[in-house]
Amino acid sequence: MLSHCSLLLLLCVVRLFSPSSALPFEQKGFWDFAMDSMDTGGILAMMRDEEEGSADVGVPPPDIPMCPFGCQCHLRVVQCSDLGLSEVPKNIPRDTKFLDLQNNRITELKENDFQGLTNLYGLSLRNNHISKVHPKTFVPLKHMQKLYFSKNLLTTIPKNLPASLVEIRIHENRIKKVAAGAFSGLGSMNCIEMGANPIHNSGFEPGAFKGLKLNYLRISEAKLTGVPKDLPDSLHELHLDHNEIQAVELEDLKRYKNLYRLGLGYNHIRNIENGSLAFLPRLRELHLDNNRLSRVPQGLPDMKYLQVVYLHSNHISQVSVDDFCPRGFGMKRTFYNGISLFANPVNYWEVQPATFRCVSDRLAIQFGNYKK
């Protein structure tokens, strides 16, 4: 009987020290919960899940693209402009379509700066201090079509430009020479803007534009004294304004039979040789403003599609009745919609009304006061 009572007393004591639902709640840790279950298989499963990353730990997988520090990345556009960068940043996402690096302090483009950016479509390097470009810098950019390189310190055209390139803007640099084959292999090139470079006519080597089928070319604000020879004959627009061209000679425009627009404003042109404009049968706009012409160029009446002629700010003192329009209407396919003659020493009241008989609207004729 005593032994039986002793056994009951021992059980009661053990019961007092065992866990009870009446005890205060205490938050348990990971291992406390694991030990409560006393399930070895459950513990191993939880450990395995932890190793495999099933828990929410807030660390992105390694394949998620990173954005360079300070830049903004959105919809495959990486904007790193105006950051004071001295070199091309690292960690540019490989799926980038447009990379904006303008308005920085980059001085050099290195071989691996654009490594892996095979999807890049456009690159802006405008307004930096770039004077050196590695020959293999652009090799990875297999699909780039637009390159904006203006306002830098380049002295030559960068080598090995992507064959996919369609447009390059390289104005306001220090280019004095364009070597033969500088644009070789660029059969898709459509537009070149290379104004505001200190280049003379002699700076274009024979074959400098060989192989190109350009539509648009601008070499304004340079040191040209004549229309450059050997430019692409496919050109639709040629802009040579703000140069030092003295005259247009007979053979100067012979190659450019596809021109729609010709810009020769702000030069020193005194004479356009008779017959020169006959080589431009498709011309629609002719800019000859701010020159030193003393008369309306000959040949305008024979240009069937010419619609706009800028002749303001010259030295024209007389306008004849047949300077613009053919004597018969059969020659002119399209009427003029713009003729500017203001800022010339010609009195508009002395010009016969029939002079503008092939103008669509009299408001398209612009005269003005002449100030000596």
Helix (H) or strand (E) holding 47: helix 40-52
pLDDT at 8: 41
Q: Which of 190, 147, 154 is nearest to 169 (CA)?
A: 147
Tokens of 9: 């007393």
Q: How buried is residue 90: exposed, middle or buried, by Cβ count under 10 Å (0-12/13-18/19+)?
A: exposed
Q: What is the pLDDT of residue 66?
A: 85
Low-confidence stretches of the chain (pLDDT beneath 50): 1-58
Burial class of residue 341 (count of CB atoms within 10 Å of its CB; 0-12, 13-18, 19+): buried
pLDDT computed for residue 327 by the predictor: 86
The alpha-helical segments, DSSP class H, found in the chain are: 2-17, 30-37, 40-52
- The C-alpha atoms of residue 32 and residue 274 are separated, in whole angstroms, by 102
DSSP reduced 3-state for 271:
strand
Check if the beta carbon of residue 148 is closer than 8 Å to that of residue 125: yes
CA distances from 107 to 87, 124, 125, 131, 162 (A): 7, 14, 11, 6, 21
Contact in structure between 330 and 308 (CB atoms under 8 Å): no
340 touches 289 (CB < 8 A): yes
Per-residue confidence (pLDDT) for residue 33, from 0 to 100 = 26
Between the CA of residue 184 and those of 138, 167, 187, 209, what are the distances in Å?
A: 15, 14, 8, 8
* CB-based contact 246:227 (threshold 8 Å): no
| pTM summary value | 0.80
Question: If you search the block for the tokens 């297999």, which residue do you land on?
Answer: 142
Residue 2 CB coordination number (10 Å) = 6
| Confidence (pLDDT) at 235 | 98
